[in-house]
A and B are shown apart, each in its own frame.
Chain A
Amino acid sequence: MTRTAHKYGMVVDTIACVGCSACTLACRSENEVPEGLSRRWVNQETRGSFPDLKMKIWSESCQHCENAPCVKNCPTGASFIDDFTGTVQVERDLCTGCKACMASCPYDARYIHPTGYVDKCTLCHHRITGGLETACETVCPTSAIVVGDLNDPGSEISQLLRKRKFEQRRTAAGTRPKFFLLV
């Protein structure tokens, strides 16, 4: 695992998230994601049996794994971990569209862009490197999405992860995701 200057990750508060999908629309608009394709999506999980039902709603995307199988399996180096932010990025010019990354992602977070390369959430790399919030974080009406540097113990994300109980998705795949669900 490479050590990076920063380690940007994301938390989604499942208690605050109402599933309004504003984040998915903001993402589409900010990143010019074509219609019919999604970098972000909203999940709704219902557990139990009536009347003892529990519902959990959360917005999800690429988990920007530390041990990213998409990066390891990319034959051309198109998928890589950005040295500065520690996020997983795709260099379009190097991508052949072989889809090994899609087959290796336990979160199915990637899709084929109509141009031919494989695309996914960049954690708004162009915004966070300029000190801005990600598009999804900006528009969230309940402030359920928090993006920040996990290397910085004073960041809001680090504090939330110290204070609140959280879950991670599909950890059995050994990917060390940087995506956390506050529960």
Chain B
Amino acid sequence: MQHSDYVELTSTRLNPHVDPALTVWGWEVPVYLFMGGLVAGLLFLYSVVVLLRREERYPTVAKTVPLLATPLLGIGLFFLFLDLEFKAHVFRFYTSFQFYSPMSWGSWILLVVFGVGGVQFLYTLAELEPFRKTAIGKWSVWGLFKKISGNTRRKLAWWTLILGIALGIYTGLLLASLTARPMWNSALVGPMFLISGLSAGTALTMLLARARAERDILVRFDLLLVFMELAVILMWVGAMAHGSEAGLEAAHQILGGAYTAVFWSLVVVAGLIVPAVLEVQSLRGKWPHTVVAPALILVGGLVLRLVMVQAGQSFGYGA
């Protein structure tokens, strides 16, 4: 910019959460986006294991994951509800369907995920040995869920496979469709959030898996996801930094601007590169498998969304 092009813009507008920079979404939306992605990952893993008939070999995915997915999604949705300014109107998401709004698609997808995931939660609970011994577990209604499980387990798994991927993509598409924010307005944000969500779901399952064979396959899958996520992040930064003037200025947020340190240190190095090294070494048998790698993946996934939402909304199309 030449000195003679210096521009100063002052405005009499001072709307809360809009000026001087947009801060309409606080911690609630990024935490929800993280939990939505995580649940998408859990649903994906569970569906694949059920469809490949590997329940015996991967007991954590088959027996524990469905018990976590729906309650975690419920907690995430509660945070989303907290973000609404007009909470009494929450039902309005279900009085229309807006084709161009990813948020509208998301609301309906979440409803179906709750239905299908809820049934999977209930029949998995019905089959849980310690639960069957409790007073509630002895109720005859649980027999019904066991019957559903026997008849429709694999059919429902097809549903959760598709719904899991849809849930993972929509959390990213939600930001990508907001064209006013150049940092979000990229076709790569959808895949980035999908892959990061699958990785978070895999990491949480890794934390719970006890059997070595199950853990190893999860680590292998996660390693693949981590490399894919790194590639997508680099493509996204590259495309933004070589794009329009607005893209260039948005990229500056993480290439020298306020969010540079947190993005590269916590998301890329601590959240992807360090766990990838730990995972490779544990697969080679050099270092023991610990909770560190999956914990870092989870923290990295959460920080990615916090940075994306905060940095992304604060920067628009300039003057």
Contact = CB atoms under 8 A, between A and B. Distances in A.
B90 interface: yes
A24 B217 CA distance: 63
A72 B85 CA distance: 20
B101 A44 contact: no
Interface string B93-107: 101101011111011
Interface in A69-83: 69, 72-78
B180 A106 contact: yes
Contact of A36 (B4, B14, B316): B14
Contact of B316 (A21, A44, A108): A108
B256 to A, nearest CB: 22
Contact of A97 (B15, B84, B246): B84
Contact of B317 (A43, A44, A73, A173): A173
For chain B, the bracket of interface size reads 35 or more
A100 interface: yes
B25 to A, nearest CB: 7
Contacts of B11: 41-44
Contacts of A48: 4-6
A103 B25 contact: yes
Given A73-B101, A96-B89, A117-B85, A43 B179 contact: no
A174 B179 contact: yes
Interface residues of A, number: 49
A172 B246 contact: yes
B135 interface: no
A102 interface: yes
Contacts of B16: 36-37, 111-112
A45 B12 CA distance: 12
A99 interface: yes
Contact of B85 (A37, A47, A103, A112): A112
A117 B244 CA distance: 34
Nearest to A70: B180
Contacts of B100: 72-73
Nearest to B80: A98
A170 B100 CA distance: 22
B178 A100 contact: yes
A38 interface: yes
B129 interface: no
Given A38-B13, A69-B180, A170 B87 contact: no
B180 A105 contact: yes
Contact of B12 (A21, A75, A95, A111): A21
A14 B175 CA distance: 35
A167 B24 CA distance: 29
Given A21-B12, A75-B101, A76-B92, 7 more contacts: A24-B12, A43-B12, A96-B93, A103-B178, A104-B181, A106-B317, A116-B86
Interface of B: 3-19, 22, 24-25, 83-90, 92-93, 95-96, 98, 100-104, 106-107, 174, 177-181, 244-246, 313, 316-317, 319
Interface of A: 21, 24, 36-38, 41-49, 52, 69, 72-78, 93-100, 102-106, 108, 110-112, 115-118, 170, 172-175
